[in-house]
């Protein structure tokens, strides 16, 4: 039987977990107000910020106190507030910005699906599809504002990987890299910038690559990267290296296998397919950080996809005609698994 101290600790720990949703909405609300951008690199009082944000000083002070309680703002002088290092990541112009992720993860688009988690666990159905009568990606196709929010979050979530992937894999033997489902081009732009002899292809659905030309231009690689629209369930552009980040986890095994089969048709015999994905630990238990397990449920309720173990990836690759040649964990701030698949 648990002693009183153990039960108290458990009570406090569970309370922190249950308040976690409120913390996420605190962060999302601050970003939507424009508070991190208004504070910038300086400091200000609640009254000064209220004038800049068209808000009430008294209610803004309450928001600032809550942000201070979770270490997103500091109070360097009495009544004056400044962003902490974590808070600065919520500025839209920060190179490691997570502002778009904060908006997306606290939007009703995702949260409505989470309320359907019990039914998804009972019968395997996708909560998003029950709520909206269409798949997640079909829904985005007809709603440009929500699609823009999604693609912005994906770009924010890719920057950490873009910082470490170019130096974590030897691209020297190859001439062409195809970023499959590459969104705005953040990742392929970083790879091409680090490897001047490589040429690139950014491949995505028509609505996914709208911001890519500007991203490629800013990176100085637009002359070495073409932008191609299409459907990766039908065909994929040919290349020596096919790069897929956070694509396979969106889909169930059947559809993920179909994507990999199209990649097998497109990659040269001496080429490689690089999967950049969260990876669950093999074996029983939930060792390690909770993020991939939570992401697994996020896929369950929103897209019908899943996160996978190394053994899952090996089986998926084998069915599509690949051998899983190597697996490594990318350095922070990425933390994703880099899985190298070679034609069998």
43-86 tens-digit pLDDT: 999 999 999 999 999 999 999 999 999 999 999 888 999 999 99
Supply the pLDDT for residue 211.
Answer: 86
Q: Are residues 187 and 83 in the same domain?
A: no
Average pLDDT, the chain: 95
Task: Check which CATH number belongs to the domain holding 36 and give it.
Answer: 1.10.10.10
Residue 30 lies in a domain: yes
Task: State which of 63, 92, 121 marks the end of a domain.
Answer: 92
Q: What is the pLDDT of residues 204-258, one digit of tens each?
A: 998 888 889 999 999 999 999 999 999 999 999 999 999 999 999 999 999 999 9
Q: How many CB atoms lie within 10 A of CB 313?
A: 23
Give residue for tokens 């269409």: 134
Q: Into how many domains does the chain fold?
A: 2
Q: Could you give the percent of the chain with pLDDT greater than 70?
A: 98
pLDDT of residue 121: 98
Long-range contacts of 57-66 (CB under 8 A, 24+ apart): 60/35, 63/26, 63/29, 63/30, 63/33, 63/35, 66/26
Total-model pTM: 0.93
Q: Can you give the pLDDT at residue 1? A: 53
- Tell me how far apart the alpha carbons of residues 209 and 17 are, in angstroms, rounded to a whole number: 37
What pLDDT does residue 287 have? 64
- Residue 156's pLDDT band (cuts 50, 70, 90): very high
Q: Is 306 left (phi over 0), alpha (psi -120 to 50) or beta?
A: beta
Q: Which of 92, 121, 147 is the last residue of a domain?
A: 92
% of the chain with per-residue pLDDT over 90: 90
Among candidate residues 139, 151, 195, 249, the one labeled active-site is 249
Structural domain containing residue 198: 158-282+302-343
Q: What is the pLDDT of residue 207?
A: 83
- Find the angle CA(178)-CA(184)-CA(188) to the nearest 5 degrees: 35
For residues 266 and 235, is the Cβ–Cβ distance under 8 A? Answer: yes
Coil, strand or helix: which one is 181? coil
Is residue 283 pLDDT above 90, yes or no? no
Whether 29 and 163 map to the same domain: the answer is no
Rg of the chain over all Cα atoms, to the nearest angstrom: 22
Segment 297-313 mean pLDDT: 97
Domain finish residue from 68, 92, 116: 92
Q: Does 170 share its domain with 316?
A: yes
Residue 212 sits in the same domain as residue 321:
yes
Lowest mean pLDDT among 24-33, 266-275, 331-340: 331-340
> Is 249 assigned a catalytic role?
yes
Q: Is the pLDDT of residue 27 over 70?
A: yes
Note whether residue 261 is domain-resident.
yes
Q: State residue 78's pLDDT score.
A: 87
Tell me, what's the pLDDT at 2? 59
pLDDT at 244: 98
> Per residue in 106-154, pLDDT tens?
999 999 999 999 999 999 999 999 999 999 999 999 899 999 999 999 9
3-state class of 244 per DSSP? strand
Q: What is the pLDDT of residue 81?
A: 97
Residues 6+ apart with CB under 8 A from 240: 173, 174, 175, 176, 177, 267, 268, 270, 271, 272
What is the model's pLDDT at position 285? Answer: 60
Q: What is the pLDDT of residue 209?
A: 83
What's the CA gap between 273 and 249, in Å, rounded? Answer: 15
Peptide bond into 333 cis (omega under 30): yes
């Amino acid at each position: 039987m648990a002693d009183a101290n153990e039960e108290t600790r458990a009570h406090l720990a569970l309370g922190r977990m249950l308040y976690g949703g409120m913390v996420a909405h605190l962060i999302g609300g601050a970003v939507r107000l424009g508070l991190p951008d208004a504070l910038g690199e300086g400091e200000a009082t609640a009254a000064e910020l209220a004038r800049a944000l068209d808000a009430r000083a008294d209610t803004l002070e309450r928001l600032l106190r809550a942000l201070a309680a979770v270490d997103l703002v500091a109070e360097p002088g009495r009544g004056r507030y400044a962003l902490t290092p974590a808070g600065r990541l919520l500025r839209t112009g920060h190179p490691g910005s997570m502002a778009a992720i904060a908006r997306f993860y606290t939007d009703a688009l995702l949260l409505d699906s989470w309320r359907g988690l019990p039914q998804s666990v009972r019968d395997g159905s996708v909560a998003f599809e029950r709520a909206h009568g269409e798949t997640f990606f079909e829904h985005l196709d007809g709603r440009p504002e929500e699609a823009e929010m999604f693609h912005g979050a994906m770009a924010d979530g890719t920057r950490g990987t873009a910082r470490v992937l170019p130096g974590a894999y030897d691209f020297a033997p190859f001439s062409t890299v195809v970023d499959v489902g590459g969104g705005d081009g953040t990742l392929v732009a970083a790879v091409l910038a680090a490897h001047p002899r490589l040429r690139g292809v950014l491949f995505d659905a028509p609505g996914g690559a709208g911001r890519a030309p500007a991203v490629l231009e800013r990176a100085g690689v637009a002359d070495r990267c073409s932008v191609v629209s299409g459907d990766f369930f039908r065909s994929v552009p040919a290349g020596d290296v096919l790069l897929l980040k956070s694509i396979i986890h969106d889909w169930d095994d059947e559809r993920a296998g179909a994507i990999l089969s199209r990649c097998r048709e497109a990659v040269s015999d001496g080429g490689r397919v690089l999967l950049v994905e969260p990876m669950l630990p093999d074996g029983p238990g939930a060792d390690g950080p909770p993020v991939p397990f939570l992401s697994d449920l996020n896929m369950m309720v929103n897209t019908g996809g899943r996160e996978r173990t190394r053994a899952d990836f090996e089986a998926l690759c084998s069915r599509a005609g690949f051998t899983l040649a190597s697996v490594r964990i990318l350095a922070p701030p990425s933390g994703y698994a880099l899985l190298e698949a070679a034609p069998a």
